Structure 1
Amino acid sequence: MFCDEKYLEICSEKTLQIDKEGFFLQFAKTVAENVGEKWVKNVFGKLKTDSERIRVIYENDEIKDYTIGFLSNVQEIYRKKSPEIASNRFSQAETSEKSGDTKKALNLYNQTILKSPESDPTLALALVRRANLLVTLNEFSYALTDTQLALKLKVPSNVKFDVFSTMAMCNKALKDETKAQISQNLAEKMTNDPNLVDKLRHNMAVEYEPIKREVKVIPPIGERHTHFSHASSKITVKKSPDLGRYVVSNADIKTGEILVAEPAAVACLNPDKFGTHCQHCFARLLAPVGCPHCSSVAFCSPKCRDDAILTYHKYECKFFDLLLGSGMSVLSLMALRIITQQNLTQTLGIYDRKDTNALYNLCTNETKRQNCDFLQRSLMAAFLLRCLQKSGYFGGNDTVVPTQTEYKVGEMLLHYLQILQFNAHEIYETLYDEKHSLKSAKMVNIGVAVYPTVALFNHECYPSVTRYFIGKTIVIVSIRPLTGNLSISENYGPIFTRIKLPQRQRTLSGRYWFNCQCQACLEDWPLLSNESNYVKRLKCPNCSFLFPVFPEIEKCPKCQTNISFRELTDKLDWCKNQFQTGIDLVKTERRDEAIPVLCQALDTFHRVSAPPHGETHRAQEALRICLADQGNSFDCLV
């Protein structure tokens, strides 16, 4: 089935370990070499269930010593708080602030706060200083949060006037006059200096203009599906031996319709984004707050911090650097996160009812998986399970060989490691220059998540939908019209307009284990750069038969119905003009106006013609860019 077995092996290993410097894959390969190919094939390879696979690596005489020996060395490795580093950053921040370098000062105060233990007085002082700095930037909401956090710590008496003064100005700027007056009164009680009181009263008389940020809103779906609560009622899920489960339309769908808006069942931020995005909600960081114990992660707010610490982070916290040091992929971390985001009782509840759990029942391709791949994933599941044991997820037990309860969780980890290989979605953010120009737009991957409904959409190299993200929520939008009972397809990466057929097939067979049989592949559509090879066609209004554009045609070659050639070509020309109008609106930053123009033209085009068609694909790309702009974005490129 697969065109390149070695490439398949490399792709599969990358879904377990992404960093070549990590230690996990080397351990797994050493184990495989020591037990030998014969054992892997004749003993491990004969096992039929994940439960048997996870047990055998702890209990079989040929392998258990390697497994238990490795897992016995698992210990806490994480970035601890550092009063020395915090104090140093605080001094640097003060120097930068005095020199007028506000951006650098804010960054250094942020580092101070993330590195300071809660018992260190530097933390409270840094929060107060950062609040003052944020006020000068008109970031009153963030500044108010800092003052509230500072007051929960031991703020020196000589700083309390500063805290309540800042709090008073923030409440006033945020239009809470009652709290503003209370904070002002408290501030005035903290000082005997009339000059400070006069300055505060002067500041309270100023009209402030808080920074206003666009709030991205998850779009409405319309009538919701009775079974898939985050999807439109216009979709249906079918199943076949060849395609598995897949999504089809059960009604006419126009271009631009919202078909799914689904929150992530589980999500993990990419490690290279730990310093720029919230670990919990993936929002951009401006004034981050940290974990009380480690300095590995950052959160955009106390709420996100508390939500994370109450669930997954309390188990991951002190093993974070060990996990990252193993080189494991974000997919492996996600397998752990599926477990840690719920308590043990909830996890066992899923195990007991796994046949009805949407996430647990996603595709694993178990029957196609090779023995060595299963062994690597079993060992990764054991490593993750050991971290759970050491973190206290199961209570006080700390023995390497799992209990019966722990075996169940190990089985779940192994199952999730298979699911995530084929069902995860990368979460994107669009970066712009300071003018938010679409010409500068650059899509950047910030994290990975699983969406049980969206995971049911099959792939086509000419997809019928596009996706964008609001936080961790995925939004699926149609980019061409569909009639009832047609497959609704996503694109897993290789798209025909940019990637040639052999490369698409190699990527899809190696990464997702299937040979694509979509129309673009079967007919080997040329790249958009070779659009001169596209044949413009017209569609019979009666039977939908496609025929080349020839002026002398008066009847459909198939059904012999009379055809108004001029009417069809006029509509095709109108589509071409509308495409250009929409693209021009996009180029002049009038995106909201461009969307309906492009949607209407795409609907009309598919009534009178069919792809491949250069102007149509450029219009779809323009529409995709406009829709992505409604999701995660950041103006940072200069």
Structure 2
Amino acid sequence: MAVNGLVFNCIVEGKTYENGVETNHLERMYRKFCENAEKGEEAKLNIFGKTETERVQIIKQFFEWIPVPDSYLKRFQKSSEIATALRDYGNKAYLEEDYGKALRAFNLAIGFAIPGGPELAMAYVKRADLFLTLNEPDLAQRDINLAAKHAYPKKAAQKLIDLQNRCVAVANRKNANVNVKNTKIINEARRFCDDKFFKLKSPHQTIQNVEEFVDIDYRSECGRRVVVNRDIPAGTVMLVDSPYAFILENLLKWDTEHCHYCSRPIRGGVPCTSCTFAWFCSDSCCAKACTGMHRNEHKYLPYLQCHPMQCRVVTAARVIFTVGPEELYRLYETKDPIYFSAKSGASRGYNKAGIYEVDSYLPIFHLIAHPPSKFVKDLSDTFKALLMTHVIEQTTDFFRKPKYSPNCNVEDFKDFVASVFLRHMRSFEFNAITLSKLHQPVYSDPNNNTNPNLANMKTLRYGAAVYPVLCLLNHSCDPNAVPVRSLRHARTSVVALKNLKRGDEICISYTPLFTLQDTPDRIKYLLDRYNFFCACDACNHCWSNANRTNSSGESHCDKCHRYLLSGQCPACMKRDICMPQIVESLRKQASQIEKLLEGQLFKEAEKLASECLEACEGFSSCFSLFIDLQFLYKRALVGLFNQ
């Protein structure tokens, strides 16, 4: 059976399927919706200021469901023919020494091969061969074992034996060249990172995932916010949060480089046994995903591949599946007051026992959402929520799971699910946290085992996640904290960049810092992307890189409430007199930090940089040295987390 060229190119190049002839299903649906809306009364389309449920009920009058054709759902199913074609494509790239392209092709061949079939075993052998060329015997050994497990042809058994012998030889050579000292340093750095940055020292009693000195409060002008309840020095870890749900940006374009359950980077992943879109770092992650949030995604992902949707739409679906139909039906039936009748903004997200429980759906449900400022977008979002609800109904057993009461109107429950879908589409647009990493290519030189220079590597966005606490952090163009994430696990911690005073709000930056982007550009980006007008100090005073100064500025004393040299506070006066010496000492230490970073001594650089930031008490945010020290500290963190 010949392989469809359009389908094959779509898979290899990671593009959305378009055959240039037929109108896709979503376009037909939307065209029909617009026709119905034009025939109806314009007043009936008034959805401005309405709740999500009211919006769904209004739009539903003009929504006419057209069942998804089977061709959409079967287009990217597992296929021996496609797997063989992908393996041949990988062989060609391998011979041309394009190892990055070859690895992707072999990964895809494994993903499209039918479980238990000979094509799967042969694809594993090809990938094992490539891993040995790339000096990765551990990954090669796993693939050799998998090939033997998946019925590798007996007539080619000698090839598997030869590959095993080669694997042992490569492993012996690699072990002989291992620098025990460097390995020990890296392992110690990893333990240091885990202990310092990803473990809470004194957990809060009522707010999970934060330290005891962190609180959540509420302001009418900005909603819920995260603050500190005592003075905190720079370099302090304030919260360690895990995502409730995440989505890979290239999920629908066959991302074979990240685990679809824990988001860890992978090079030799395990494919989903039921669909061709998901890869996992282990059988354990695969099993957890396929019995959890990914179970309902197998059949509808091929539809989404042909109808590109924003990350927020796919993330909303992931959250709906994570919550599950039974819990959503309970909320629909009971109208649980902690979800729908929260007494005040400050109480949102807390359960009946007064606990901000991060593993529950409650904090995610209460993430703030801004209604679209444009009518067309508002209309389109509501239409997509209804569309996705119907797609889920057709392709999964989601709506057959709940035990409906005799008096339940199932159609009303579906409308409720669509309204929740719409709610999350809007909240995730403004609350989702970007997942990124340093881009590390597959080297064309297989003998190059050196670590690349971190300073020359680019940051690559690969996904988005929603967090129960981290998503509450507001923006500042001059942030006092930075989120840091280890690629070895899914947790993200937030570290103080400056000394914080009691009552200070913890702020991170959604944009490039004020030193990297002019104020009008920052304000426009934040207004267009996040739908708010930034009023931080950097924007109010129009700070930009041109405002950088060599003056540390006048410091304000919290004890005497006077400026320095006022004669009111001896401590302030002494510090002001010593300021030139303090600044000179910090400059020397900044140079020392630079040298530590060049020598990849990231642990030592982080320690010294955090001490320097703590010594910058009272410095102006525009003071060049203060800005440079923050940048050096973040470089040290990046180095630590990428060892």
Q: Which amino acid aligns with 2:582?
A: K
Match of 1:531 in 2: 548
Distance 2:561 2:513 in 1: 25
Greater shift, 286-295 or 24-33, is seen at: 24-33
The reply to whether residue 555 of structure 1 matches residue 566 of structure 2 is yes
Displacement of 1:112 after TM fit?
2.7
Displacement of 1:363 after TM fit?
0.5
- Percent identity, aligned pairs only, is 21
Among residues 513, 531, 538, which one is paired with 1:513 in the alignment?
A: 531
The reply to whether residue 501 of structure 1 matches residue 511 of structure 2 is no
Among residues 83, 88, 91, which one is paired with 1:86 in the alignment?
A: 83
* C-alpha contact (below 8 Å) 1:586/1:594 kept by paired residues: yes
* C-alpha contact (below 8 Å) 1:602/1:616 kept by paired residues: yes
Among residues 392, 401, 414, which one is paired with 2:396 in the alignment?
A: 392
The total of aligned residue pairs comes to: 566
* C-alpha contact (below 8 Å) 2:499/2:617 kept by paired residues: yes
* C-alpha contact (below 8 Å) 2:259/2:266 kept by paired residues: yes
Among residues 225, 230, 253, which one is paired with 1:251 in the alignment?
A: 230
Decide which structure has the larger Cα Rg and report it.
1
Match of 1:228 in 2: 207
Distance 2:44 2:59 in 1: 14
Counterpart secondary structure, 2:578: helix
Among residues 449, 454, 472, which one is paired with 2:465 in the alignment?
A: 449
Q: Which amino acid aligns with 1:594?
A: A
Match of 1:51 in 2: 53
Match of 1:383 in 2: 387
Q: Which amino acid aligns with 1:512?
A: Y
Displacement of 1:578 after TM fit?
2.5
* C-alpha contact (below 8 Å) 1:508/1:514 kept by paired residues: yes
Match of 1:485 in 2: 503
Residues 509-548 of structure 1: CA deviation (Å, up to 9, x unaligned): 22222222222222222x234425967334447435446x
Match of 2:122 in 1: 125
Superposition map of 1:107-118 within 5 A: 107-118=104-115
Match of 1:186 in 2: none
Distance 2:95 2:539 in 1: 62
Match of 2:368 in 1: 363
Q: Which amino acid aligns with 1:460?
A: S
Residues 252-291 of structure 1: CA deviation (Å, up to 9, x unaligned): 2111111122111110001167143233332333223323
Match of 1:196 in 2: none
Q: Which amino acid aligns with 1:481?
A: N
Distance 1:347 1:145 in 2: 41
Displacement of 1:415 after TM fit?
1.3
Match of 1:142 in 2: 139
Displacement of 1:441 after TM fit?
3.0
The reply to whether residue 581 of structure 1 matches residue 559 of structure 2 is no
Match of 1:177 in 2: none
Distance of aligned partners of 1:332 and 1:22 in 2 relative to their CA distance in 1, 3 Å threshold: farther
Displacement of 1:118 after TM fit?
2.1
Counterpart secondary structure, 1:314: coil
Distance of aligned partners of 1:230 and 1:90 in 2 relative to their CA distance in 1, 3 Å threshold: same
* C-alpha contact (below 8 Å) 1:236/1:249 kept by paired residues: yes
Distance of aligned partners of 1:372 and 1:461 in 2 relative to their CA distance in 1, 3 Å threshold: same
Distance of aligned partners of 1:36 and 1:619 in 2 relative to their CA distance in 1, 3 Å threshold: farther
Counterpart secondary structure, 2:73: coil
TM-score, scaled to structure 2? 0.77
Distance of aligned partners of 1:235 and 1:56 in 2 relative to their CA distance in 1, 3 Å threshold: same
Match of 1:618 in 2: 628
Q: Which amino acid aligns with 2:473?
A: F
Match of 2:582 in 1: 571
Q: Which amino acid aligns with 1:596?
A: K
Long gaps (5+) in structure 1: 1-16, 174-201, 548-553, 634-638
Distance 1:570 1:518 in 2: 31
Among residues 465, 476, 482, which one is paired with 1:466 in the alignment?
A: 482
TM-score, scaled to structure 1? 0.77
Residues 140-171 of structure 1: CA deviation (Å, up to 9, x unaligned): 4434433443344334445567768977998x
The reply to whether residue 68 of structure 1 matches residue 49 of structure 2 is no
Distance 1:108 1:604 in 2: 52
Distance 1:439 1:139 in 2: 25
Distance of aligned partners of 1:111 and 1:422 in 2 relative to their CA distance in 1, 3 Å threshold: closer
Q: Which amino acid aligns with 1:623?
A: Y
Q: Which amino acid aligns with 2:554?
A: R
Long gaps (5+) in structure 2: 1-15, 340-350, 352-361, 402-408, 442-449
Displacement of 1:135 after TM fit?
5.4
Distance 1:239 1:379 in 2: 33
* C-alpha contact (below 8 Å) 2:25/2:68 kept by paired residues: no
Displacement of 1:601 after TM fit?
1.4
Distance 1:53 1:372 in 2: 13
Displacement of 1:99 after TM fit?
9.1
Among residues 202, 218, 231, which one is paired with 1:239 in the alignment?
A: 218
Greater shift, 438-447 or 237-246, is seen at: 438-447
Among residues 348, 360, 368, which one is paired with 2:329 in the alignment?
A: 348
* C-alpha contact (below 8 Å) 1:168/1:204 kept by paired residues: no
